[in-house]
Structure 1
């Protein structure tokens, strides 16, 4: 006897079809992601689009606001003030990034060898500077650098010497490098340390059986195995350094002319917008910096694609 399938049961069987289940899961996934996408759209995509739109115009008292296309970008990439700030930031990157990554890598390798409670306390102490807000950290170092109120003057007086002018034009570069290195090395250390902890410890045991020393294990096994994490850390460092802003802005008010309003490209854009009301050209400078950051990151990823796994 033939059996009849009710419409309700047929619909139930259709609902169990793999394609239907996959589409339902996609809808649920988009539902969970939609709050982030909405915030991302409102607070990032739309402001960026409006800023780019502003960069295509020029405002003057005589002619008002006129559409000039990419003329502002031609001006930006021939602007000696902007280019000088970019050269200064590039020099910061050449000095700060190897110093930060080197300190973070050494600290992570050292902590990876510890198996005591001292390891947890050390990780916390090294990471603590990153937990301090950047503005507060810069103000604290400004006090420490002060030739009148800082502890350096007292310390050097003990030896009958004058304290160095850490905030002078000749030493402000090194002072800023020290602040940023102190602030960010702990964060990079945590990323590298997490990558090290994901390596199977049996690999180290096999290397020791073969006669490898601790230094050989660190340099020939650990570092190559975390190359993708190292590339990620380097990208973070490159982007952060090229966007250098907060520390020089905070120290500018307490330095004797060592930091001007155009010390970095971000500071230049800020000064154009909020001191000279040149919002169109300020948007152009900001986007020009973004273009250079993107190009620098892309070139770095291209030459390190094997280590970062992008060539798979």
Structure 2
């Protein structure tokens, strides 16, 4: 009778290969992120840095400015910022954008929240809800320039079908592009186009809430209004904050709507908004240095307002702790 002994197989090679395999796996996420990081650097980070560089430069003209070396770029310090902020058109454009934001942001978010709550209350009819969601979201898919042209057609009394219908009843249509109404006319285009996007964000947050929570509240005798006020709105508060920040950023950067409506009315100037002032300085006056300075100011204001608002309400909405 013979005894055979089977030696265990050597595990040296697989163990040695594990660190290399683990290293290769660790690099996979960075490989997926590389295209996005490259595009972010080239299309966003680099232009911001370049704009900051231009804002600190200016052109020095020597002699008559006719020779090849008569115009040289030199250091300007903060003179471009001082010149841009003391422009007589700067403060009026800031005041207009503040009034525009006071109209657009509450109206757009209020309508978005109302529509999301109405759609969520009608969960038992999915076909109707799907049609309503698409109908409300559809204006967001229309480009801002196209939407402004459509509304501009409706604003002009000579071509507007609504003005024609009102005249048939003996009612004179208001001049919506006049100095008294133009701010509301521009704000209306933004509200019409942006409500659907914000509604989808809020409605998606509501869809994540289990219906058993609402059923328990109904058993306790809560009305639909009480459920919406005490349960639904507190639950979607983070989504409301996110949409508010998005709306705030869009308000500070409004450009397409007033720029498109400008040829239809003489009440909208080239400096009607701060971003339109940037366009005027860069492409009408050919002063890219002042335009860069104004752009940096707008970017810093956008960051400070967004970050400050998130810092103010972050703990309550997202249960954040200060580090």
Same fold at TM > 0.5: yes
Bigger mean CA deviation after superposition, 233-242 or 52-61: 52-61
287, 290, 298: which one pairs with 1:278? Answer: 287
Partner of 2:27: 27
Equivalent residue runs for 1:176-191 within 5 Å: 176-191=186-201
2:78 aligned with 1:70:
yes
2:239 aligned with 1:237:
no
Deviation readout 1:191-240 (Å, 9 max, x if unpaired):
00000001121111111111111000001000001111111000000000
Partner of 1:92: 100
Partner of 2:304: 295
Mapped contact 1:126–1:186 kept (Cα < 8 A): yes
How far apart, CA to CA, are the structure 2 residues paired with 1:289 and 1:214?
A: 43
Mapped contact 1:156–1:162 kept (Cα < 8 A): yes
Partner of 2:67: none
* TM-score, normalisation: structure 2: 0.90
Gap change, CA 1:70 and 1:101, over 3 Å in 2: same
How far apart, CA to CA, are the structure 2 residues paired with 1:84 and 1:206?
A: 53
2:115 aligned with 1:113:
no
Partner of 1:16: 18
Deviation readout 1:156-183 (Å, 9 max, x if unpaired):
1111122211111111011111111001
Bigger mean CA deviation after superposition, 211-220 or 89-98: 89-98
Partner of 1:248: 258
Cα offset for 1:37? 1.1
Bigger mean CA deviation after superposition, 286-295 or 83-92: 83-92
Mapped contact 2:56–2:75 kept (Cα < 8 A): yes
How far apart, CA to CA, are the structure 2 residues paired with 1:23 and 1:202?
A: 46
Mapped contact 1:232–1:308 kept (Cα < 8 A): no
Gap change, CA 1:209 and 1:15, over 3 Å in 2: farther
What SS class does the counterpart of residue 58 from structure 1 fall into? strand
Which has the greater radius of gyration?
2
Mapped contact 1:196–1:226 kept (Cα < 8 A): yes
245, 259, 265: which one pairs with 2:268? Answer: 259
C-alpha root-mean-square deviation of aligned residues, in Å?
A: 1.9
Instruction: Count residues with an aligned counterpart.
Output: 307
Cα offset for 1:310? 6.5
Unaligned runs of 5+ in 1: none
139, 161, 171: which one pairs with 1:151? Answer: 161
